[in-house]
A and B are shown apart, each in its own frame.
Chain A
Amino acid sequence: MAVTKASKDQKYDRQLRLWGDHGQEELENAHVCLINSTASGTEILKNLVLPGIGAFTIVDGHKVSGQDVGNNFFLSNNSIGRNRAQAATELLQELNTDVSGNFVEESPEKLLDNDPEFFHRFTLVIGVQLPESTCLRLGSVLWNANIPFLVCRTYGLVGYMRLVVKEHTVIESHPDNALEDLRLDQPFAELKNHIQSYDLEGMGKKNHSHTPWIIIVAKYLEKWFSEHNFQFPKNYKEKEAFKQLIRQGILKSEKGTPEDEENFEEAIKNVNTALNPTKISSGVDDIFNGEQCNDITSQTPAFWVMTRAVREFVHNDGGGNLPVRGSIPDMIADSEKFITLQNIYREKAMQDASVVSKHVESLLQSVGKPSESISEQDIKLFCKNAAFLRVVRCRSLVEEYSVETVNKDAITSCMDSADGEMVLYLMLRSVDRFYQQHSRYPGVYNYQVEEDISKLKLCVNSLLQEYSLNVNVKDDYIHEFCRYGASEPHTVASFLGGSAAQEAIKIITRQFVPFNNTFIYNAMSQTTATFQL
């Protein structure tokens, strides 16, 4: 069946609202590698295949077992004995014919031995239920090749994710509850003129009641300045006095009772946030001071070229401020007044963006790159989001695991709550130790559970000793992790599948902010925690 753009738009409509056409394009150009198509793995892939990832490749040397089929929606009982990568690919591919599904019947260890560059072709590698040694080996290869690596595992009622990416930049972070960029403390010329053009006292009632609150606050600020030596309302008391000043401006009826002027009520309600000084957040400041921002070369990614350009703008043209964002919130006003005001902000934003554009051009020229390498559209998007830029840098697995660089402080302080998620992390590290020593996980068979408890305890102690961690791991957790028998219950795998796929989509689309860097899900208490290890 011919797939037209319109029919694809229809199918993907609901998700296009979240990440837009450009996000969808990134998704459709991505090729993800999944290692091990256990339930956790196939659940992750399902949540990438459905929204239309470009391609996936499953690497798995295992044969399908009866146990595998029992918890996995994408393995059927007639695939028992077949290669697991192949079997899972069939049922995953069937979900969405837009996606290209591939498989490699090989263990990751073999690939690392014979052809580690195999992994270089992927946008992102997701490793599921990997033994520690494989995880670390693969981690090194991907770190050196600058390919994001997402480690996932389901162990009994515990879910675990670890993101390993050197540097991930985000322009569209889509923050909840972002502050507006109204510049009431430093109105630019066009805004000043526009405010001047209003004469609140001389207006008829209809116009008075439909004047945007931004204008009202601006006008009353002028009044306040003249009475307070050009100082802004600073503390609670002054802000309340300022609100009263505005309230007095509400028209009164012939009887002397105040009229119903919702726009004035809006002005009063918004005083607190409207008076926030325009300034650059410390997060964005840090980004401006990043190394990448200082040394622009022909290899510098577009993100950093644009950051540098905006920094130049801030220092040379913006009077210490970012380019104007250009959007204003909806407010009670008649259509004409609102749109005129909105256009004042929009046009200033466009002006600022074109100045930034010139800086981008000269930076590109200085390193011998054509100015078309960064589009106007990208620059506009960057300027609009300049206040919300984010950079995520994860420590490597080597840094996490090495005795010299282990994050002792984080582990020790989190263990102050002995029943929090950190103990689950330590248990996962301990069962990995167990696996290294005994070539199996603890408690897989019923008869093993009791005897493995003491063996696992030895592993826990050796782990704590090696890292000089002066913490106490309760016996209950050691017992519980033996009890799990390295099982992978579907509902926990599914939770992890949904979570990991979301993070993968964030990495691929470069929208929204991924976690940094260790996520633990406790299905017993339905709680989670994120650690930076």
Chain B
Amino acid sequence: MNLLLFSLFREKKRRRVVELTEKMVVDGGSRDGGEWDGRWNHINTFLERPGPFTHPDFEPSTESLQFLLDTCKILVIGAGGLGCELLKDLALSGFRHIHVVDMDTIDVSNLNRQFLFRLKDVGRPKADIAADFINGRIPGCNVVPHFKKIQDFDESFYRQFHIIVCGLDSIIARRWMNGMLLSLLVYEDGVLDPSSIIPLIDGGTEGFKGNARVIFPGMTACIDCTLELYPPQINFPMCTIASMPRLPEHCVEYVRMLLWPKEKPFGDGVGLDADDPEHIQWVYQKSQERAAEFSITGVTYRLTQGENTHSAILNSACATEVFKIASSAYIPLNNYMVFNDVDGLYTYTFEAERKENCSSCSQVPQDLHFSPSAKLQEVLDYLTENASLQMKSPAITATLEGKNKTLYLQLGLLDGQELAVADVTTPQTLLFKLSFTS
């Protein structure tokens, strides 16, 4: 990573955000700091003392702490397993202006690791409860909750933050966030303005595995540059589900995908809620019936839900990176760390490379190669199945005879035609160029 560019970014960024902050009304007013002697001793050694491994730009100062406490603004996406940990880590590292976004409410099965929630909080919004708990436990901390989807906000919201940390469990949401930060980038005469960069720290974890990465949009590899590292979800073939189940998992999928929409057990338009015990009980029972039909054993209640618990390790690595970047005390992780503790503890740290033709950050329209007689469905299939695109439900528009037309049918497109594709995986529209194979 280009260190010179990084230091330029820090200086311009610091000035720019201070300006933005001064223009904005501070949410909720500042609370009594409740300082006491020695409170920040564990952090001050890194802010006030020179050292041999600090970032070349680092200047020891007693004011750095004030920057963290009073000015630096961090956004945490997700208030679940990772989110709760992140909020705690940041609050105890001197960050006070923290916003948290989460669209979920609390479920009983969250209580074994989302430690900011208690039994009495079940049903309430995660963001609200998490903020309350942190603000109560850490005097002076001002976490502002948003019980919303990330897609409910636009650039004006995201632009106010110095650093954004993701504690998400959805690849779609990650990609959307990635796209949003890329859309904030400002280029002057083709040169990236460093102050428009908002670093994205992303952590993911499941069971005994996890990863943490640092993304400087426009400079380092983005989420989509390395999309192949998130392999597409394994989907069972439809014929297996519909008529030839062999495993208990096939029976559960049958009930989830085929039986539920057919029987609508809780009413019209009521979707399956994996956190609702009554829904799960229904799925469990029906799965057992299905399994019995085919003499399959092994359908358990546990099988009817998908997730594993996680460990509180990767969040800490992410929070350390936030601290490093905000204080420029050390050179940040460059840029991807993988963790696995099934057998001992194993990590692998490497620099993920930018993809030259990344669909998100390379700004170059991608070529799509199809024969002139190909049907639209083939294009749609490609967009969803290709490992580096993995779209969910792409909608394609093209400019034909001066008008923007959404493509439903084959419409006599020309070689070299530009297609604009929108999808839930990104807030930006992606551009493709149609290239006919002979």
Contact = CB atoms under 8 A, between A and B. Distances in A.
A502 B112 contact: no
A46 B240 CA distance: 44
Contacts of B156: none
A96 B349 CA distance: 35
A52 interface: yes
Contact of B139 (A13, A50, A77, A338): A77
A69 B36 contact: yes
B89 A339 contact: no
Interface in B277-296: 277, 294-296
B316 A494 contact: yes
Contact of A173 (B111, B246, B343): B343
B262 interface: no
Interface in A1-51: 1, 7, 10-18, 39, 43, 46-47, 50-51
A499 B341 contact: yes
B38 A15 contact: no
Contacts of A14: 109, 112-113, 307-309
B342 A498 contact: no
Contact of A526 (B34, B111, B212): B212
A11 B277 CA distance: 12
Interface residues of A, number: 83
Contacts of B24: none
Contacts of B240: 332
Interface string A492-521: 101101110111000000001111100100
Contacts, number: 225
A392 to B, nearest CB: 9
Contacts of B312: 43, 46-47, 494, 497-498, 501
A498 B345 contact: no
A490 B53 contact: no
A502 B341 contact: yes
B92 A71 contact: yes
B311 A501 contact: yes
B258 interface: no
A483 B52 CA distance: 9
A18 B51 contact: no
Interface string B243-257: 011110000000000
Contacts of B302: 13, 16-17
Given A15-B309, A339-B295, A491 B53 contact: no
Contacts of B193: none
A502 B342 CA distance: 10
A1 B402 CA distance: 68
Given A69-B36, A446-B48, A512-B342, A210 B113 contact: no
Given A10-B277, A489-B43, A495-B317, A1 B112 contact: no
Nearest to B92: A490
10 contacts: A13-B109, A39-B92, A47-B311, A334-B244, A476-B53, A499-B345, A501-B311, A502-B345, A513-B344, A526-B320
Interface of A: 1, 7, 10-18, 39, 43, 46-47, 50-52, 65-67, 69-73, 76-77, 80, 95, 156-157, 173-176, 210, 330-335, 338-339, 342, 443, 446, 449, 475-476, 479-480, 483-485, 487-492, 494-495, 497-499, 501-503, 512-516, 519, 523-528, 530
